[in-house]
Amino acid sequence: MKKDRYKKYRNRIIPIILTLVLVFSASSAYGDSEATGSLSQDLSDSSASEVTIMFTGDLMCQPSQQTAAFNGKAYNFKPTFKYVKNIFDNADFVVGNLETLISKSLPLTKDMNRLQSKPFLNGPEAYLDALQYAGFDAFIMANNHGCDGGELGITETLDALDSRGIPHTGIFRDRSEKRYFILEQNDIKIGILSYATYFNKKEKFLPADKREDMINRTTQAKINADVKALKEEGADYIVAYNHCGTEYSQEPASRQESYGVMFARAGVDYIIGSHPHVLQPFDLIRYNNLKVPYIYSMGNFASSMIDPITKETIILSITLKKTETGEVSLAEQEYYPCYMLDEYEGEPFVLMPEDERYNDGFFEKAPSDLVTKIKKNFKHIRKIVGKLRT
């Protein structure tokens, strides 16, 4: 993975320089080899102790997004991520729910937006260009649009991701493919799982003999098997997305809590929800002596939906640390409220973060009525999601 790490590590630069000064000063008294060995050990211990992963909600590619991004010759979705990419630069990995196919043979959503009375989602490969520009490293894909294009849609979407070396899970070509992927940094392995509870009844477009091999339904047996396989492969920490809930409701459905218990029972360490297209609260799922963090719904991240609550979103950031004994645990968690502006400074569909370190003076530059409105949205985001606890 190639990513701009400067912001993540800039706070370490000064301590490292001071350490170098002390070491080279000490070398005159104790010998160069002893001092150099000490420095190497200190830096190794520091850099190998933690990893930061950021997560987002639904990455949709709807008709209005496609139309706005098209200049008559090519698509450019990059302006959407102009500001949030600076937040992503602080992460080792960024993961989102890719809720669209990327199939070169099927119609784009702007040309055919419904199939059998349900929305049909398929975007151009330029959408992946923009997501990689933003900083996304991997995608989960178990969602109710995964079967929109049948076997061809799944195969070509996975081909597009594989050609770019992008890890993914949630839809599969066949049973031989792993039901998960692992992200590894600083000797910490993070396993990522992805499940969905419904597919808009479009799973019928898949070959009957391959159907259950190509999708990942949320069942206790599947979760247990996948968690076991991840742990056998050395995963230190496991995050699971589950696509479930009532669309446009900011109150979790009872079934979402039931699924949360299933994940906790299986040994998942952090649960992330998607599908409602709006934010839902953070809570802790309690199972036996465990308390498992659970954000019931991350809402949309990129979409062209109209209702203001569908434009409210967050970037979730978790930092894992590894102790000297090899135990990996959640050390820090936070979220960055963001809002999808229909237009800003001549660009359509721009994600604007609340954090003034990253929004390029938005609160001073934008019209006062827009600032007043968006501040209310940010306040509402914090009210809905609440505080992150352990």
What's the rounded Cα separation, in Å, for the pair 30 and 242? Answer: 57
Look up the domain containing 156 and give its range: 51-385
Q: Judge if 372 and 243 occupy the same domain.
A: yes
Residue 129 falls within a domain, yes or no?
yes
> 16 with 40: CB under 8 angstroms?
no
E-only strand ranges, 211-356: 237-243, 270-274, 282-287, 290-295, 300-302, 312-322, 328-344, 347-353
Q: Judge if 37 and 93 occupy the same domain.
A: no
> 280 with 329: CB under 8 angstroms?
no
Q: Judge if 56 and 111 occupy the same domain.
A: yes
What's the rounded Cα separation, in Å, for the pair 252 and 242? Answer: 13
Q: Judge if 14 and 151 occupy the same domain.
A: no
Q: Judge if 225 and 203 occupy the same domain.
A: yes
Residue 270 falls within a domain, yes or no?
yes
The number of folded domains in the chain is 2
Residue 4 falls within a domain, yes or no?
no
Handedness of CA 62, 183, 2, 41 (dihedral sign): positive
- The closest alpha carbon to 388, from 305, 292, 260, belongs to 292
Residue 243 falls within a domain, yes or no?
yes
Tell me, what's the pLDDT at 48? 54
Residue 390 falls within a domain, yes or no?
no
Residue 3 falls within a domain, yes or no?
no
First and final C-alpha spacing in the chain: 30
What's the rounded Cα separation, in Å, for the pair 304 and 351? Answer: 11
User: CA 307 from chain center: how many Å?
Assistant: 22
Q: Judge if 150 and 21 occupy the same domain.
A: no
User: CA 214 from chain center: how many Å?
Assistant: 21
Residue 381 burial by Cβ neighbours in a 10 Å radius (0-12, 13-18, 19+): buried
Handedness of CA 307, 309, 310, 312 (dihedral sign): positive
pLDDT tens digits, the chain, 390 residues: what are they? 444 444 444 444 433 333 333 333 333 333 333 332 322 223 334 445 899 999 999 999 999 999 999 999 999 999 999 999 999 999 999 999 999 999 999 999 999 999 999 999 999 999 999 999 999 999 999 999 999 999 999 999 999 999 999 999 999 999 999 999 999 999 999 999 999 999 999 999 999 999 999 999 999 999 999 999 999 999 999 999 999 999 999 999 999 999 999 999 999 999 999 999 999 999 999 999 999 999 999 999 999 999 999 999 999 999 999 999 999 999 999 999 999 999 999 999 999 999 999 999 999 999 999 999 999 999 999 999 999 999
E-only strand ranges, 181-311: 181-185, 188-196, 237-243, 270-274, 282-287, 290-295, 300-302
Q: Judge if 209 and 343 occupy the same domain.
A: yes
Tell me, what's the pLDDT at 225? 98
Residue 161 falls within a domain, yes or no?
yes
Cα angle at 230 between 225 and 236, to 5 degrees?
A: 135
CATH classification at residue 235: 3.60.21.10
Tell me, what's the pLDDT at 15? 39
Q: Judge if 33 and 129 occupy the same domain.
A: no
Q: Judge if 59 and 37 occupy the same domain.
A: no
Q: How many CB atoms lie within 10 A of CB 159?
A: 14
> 88 with 54: CB under 8 angstroms?
yes
Q: Judge if 23 and 121 occupy the same domain.
A: no
Indicate whether this model's pTM tops 0.75. yes
Q: Judge if 83 and 126 occupy the same domain.
A: yes
Q: Judge if 37 and 55 occupy the same domain.
A: no
Residue 186 falls within a domain, yes or no?
yes
What's the rounded Cα separation, in Å, for the pair 185 and 192? Answer: 14
